[in-house]
Amino acid sequence: MRAVVFHGPEDLRYEEVEVSPPGAGELLLRIDAALTCGTDVKTLHRGHPVMIPRVPTVFGHEFAGTVVGVGRGVSAFREGDRVVAANSAPCGECRLCAAGRPNLCEDLLFVNGAYGEFIVLPERLVAENVVRLADSLPAARAAFAEPLACALLAIDHGEVEAGKTVAVFGHGPLGCLLAMLAAARKARVLLIGKAGWRMERVRTLGLGECLDATASADIVADLRALTGGRGAEVTIDATGRPEVWEQAMGAVGRGGSVVFFGGCAPGTTVRLDSRRVHYEGLTLSGAFHHTPETIRRAVDLLETEAVVPDSLLTHRLGLEGVEEALKLMARGDALKVLIEP
């Protein structure tokens, strides 16, 4: 098959790769749709020892496909099934899995290979994190299941519900998915970003009130003014920038929750008003990755059209266009790019 293979930082090649038949417990999928991700951009530039411990490997991790081969012992799926697969599977045995936190599994198995014509799904992934799709769900929309599941975990951490004000910092694809989920729960959404074509596009989506951080002398003060001086019940960072983490903490109200969804670079430090955290009973939490449960809930949200993220797709390219797609992402000229093998 043809595939886009990651050989190391700044070394991405479009080449021929052998397709192996599925072994015991495995599935062979024909990939129908794949999506670009900001993590792919970062990985291309600096590598990712956790998600890609070995190279070369077929790149990409957001996809939906059709089963074209079934390994011995697999009874839950058959050829012709349309499915979405997560990009990881927990072990189910470590202390964190036992504690109901499989996203933090001590032996999390990561799977890459979205940017190819086919992919073999390993046994553990087939058992834990592959979901059959309704015939009515388009593959391009189904491929949003993985990032949507990550956003859903953050929304759960913040206990977002109807009537709460939720401030989302960052108007990239994940910021938009977070806003969509909050809006679906009937929360008031304040989405903070920067002026430009992306902000204008986001405004047309009607996700909530959009604020231009670059036009504000004090975005925290502006957010508090919009909430009667109280601050938001929930603030979520989707930028991974330390100064924005601090803004998220500044904009949350008494008794509120701050969710750190965007990961900062290793070694980053942020300032913390410990008095506020203590005396105002703030909850600070990090939200990383997804779980088998949030993957299934994400698929359900997509199938019922409670969340319809199609408008985040700004470009459509073939496999040979993956490198160009990632360049578009890196320049800020795209939100999500649909890759169709």
Q: Measure the CA–CA gap between 261 and 245, rounded to whole angstroms.
A: 10
Terminal CA-CA length for the chain:
10
Enumerate residues 6+ apart whose C-beta is below 8 A from 339: 33, 34, 35, 36, 60, 114, 115, 317, 318, 319, 321, 322, 325
Q: What is the pLDDT of residues 222-260, one digit of tens each?
A: 999 999 999 999 999 999 999 999 999 999 999 999 999
The residue-averaged pLDDT of 22-30 equals 99
Q: Measure the CA–CA gap between 65 and 338, rounded to whole angstroms.
A: 13
Q: What is the pLDDT of residues 148-176, one digit of tens each?
A: 999 999 999 999 999 999 999 999 999 99
* DSSP-derived secondary structure letter, 134: -
Residue 58 three-state SS:
strand
The per-residue pLDDT for 239 is: 96
Tokens of 258: 């701050």
The per-residue pLDDT for 52 is: 86
Q: Measure the CA–CA gap between 116 and 68, rounded to whole angstroms.
A: 14
Cis check: omega of the bond before 56, within 30 degrees of 0: yes
pTM value is: 0.96
The CATH class, in words, for 149-286 is alpha beta
> Quick one: which of 305, 318, 88, 328 has its CA closest to 180?
305
Reply yes or no on whether the pLDDT at 319 is more than 90.
Answer: yes
The per-residue pLDDT for 14 is: 96
The per-residue pLDDT for 280 is: 98
The CATH architecture of the domain made up of 2-144+309-339 is Alpha-Beta Complex (3.90)
The per-residue pLDDT for 266 is: 87
Q: What is the pLDDT of residues 46-77, one digit of tens each?
A: 888 778 888 999 999 999 999 999 999 999 99
Reply yes or no on whether the pLDDT at 265 is more than 90.
Answer: no
Q: What's phi and psi for 267, nearest 5 deg?
A: 85, 0
Residue extent(s) of CATH 3.90.180.10 domains in the chain:
2-144+309-339
The per-residue pLDDT for 335 is: 96
